Amino acid sequence: MSDTVLTDEAVAELRLDPRKGVQQAIKTWDTRQQKQKELENQFFTMQHYEREARQKGYQHIAGVDEVGRGPLAGPVVSAAVILPKECDLVGINDSKQLSKTEREKWAKRICEQAVSIHYSIISAQDIDRLNIYQATRLSMKEAVFGLSHQPDFLLVDAMSIDAPIPQLSIIKGDAKSISIAAASIVAKVKRDQLMSDYAQLYPEFGFEHNAGYGTKEHLEGLKTVGATPIHRVSFKPVSDYLRKS
């Protein structure tokens, strides 16, 4: 019944069937229909900023987000995504609310439907040189200007981008805008892939599990092996370990 398309008349008829199995199936059907309705309502709500921008005449609206400001190792990655006005992304959410498997599935769907996607990777060395705030702004700017379609409006997660393009900064935008949510997913999947690759080079730190954050395993690796070329030496406790070595 879960994979069957039922008419309203058929459902009404089944509701009158006294058999326990049928009533349980109807209950499951109702729960699934309610969940789908909630997702559709959420999707509509998350298009609020996109609708406002289009009402003002903007056509190519890019969502922009970053991943990796807090880790002790690895790059900061930003993504910019332009979605079409009509897209089938019901259920999309902030990347932090999704499992690794769910993010990868969403990233594939986003790539299949997006008008344009671009991401930027800023290395640990550049983060140390610029500071994390400026490195993040640079990565977002590079992501925007790397798009194959030049956007005429930007929706940015809690930042401003140094670009002559009208933009709106939205606090917790990855939970409020489908475009920013899409960018957060693309950026997170890309950075996780990079950290898994780095884990092959530096297996002592557990980068495939911790994505460069300061977990116990990571700190033990710093203590026993020392910093690698992908560590942010301007970040504590990496700088502390370097002074002790």
Cα dihedral across residues 117, 121, 127, 129: positive or negative? negative
pLDDT-flagged residues of the chain (< 50): 2
Q: What is the pLDDT of residue 31?
A: 73
Nearest to 64 by CA among 147, 184, 166: 184
Question: What is the rounded CA–CA span in Å between residue 242 and residue 209?
Answer: 23
Q: pTM to 2 decimals?
A: 0.88
Q: Phi first, then psi: give them for residue 120, nearest 5 degrees.
A: -130, 140
Question: What is the rounded CA–CA span in Å between residue 151 and residue 155?
Answer: 10
| Cβ proximity of 65 and 78 under 8 Å | yes
Going by the DSSP 8-state scheme, the letter that residue 57 receives in this structure is T
Question: What is the rounded CA–CA span in Å between residue 94 and residue 97?
Answer: 6
Q: What is the pLDDT of residue 11?
A: 67
Q: What is the pLDDT of residue 104?
A: 97
Q: What is the pLDDT of residue 3?
A: 52
Q: What is the pLDDT of residue 67?
A: 97
Could you state, in order of their start, the residue ranges of all structural domains in the chain? 8-45, 48-196, 200-244
Question: What is the rounded CA–CA span in Å between residue 129 and residue 232?
Answer: 10
Write down the CATH number for the domain with range 48-196: 3.30.420.10
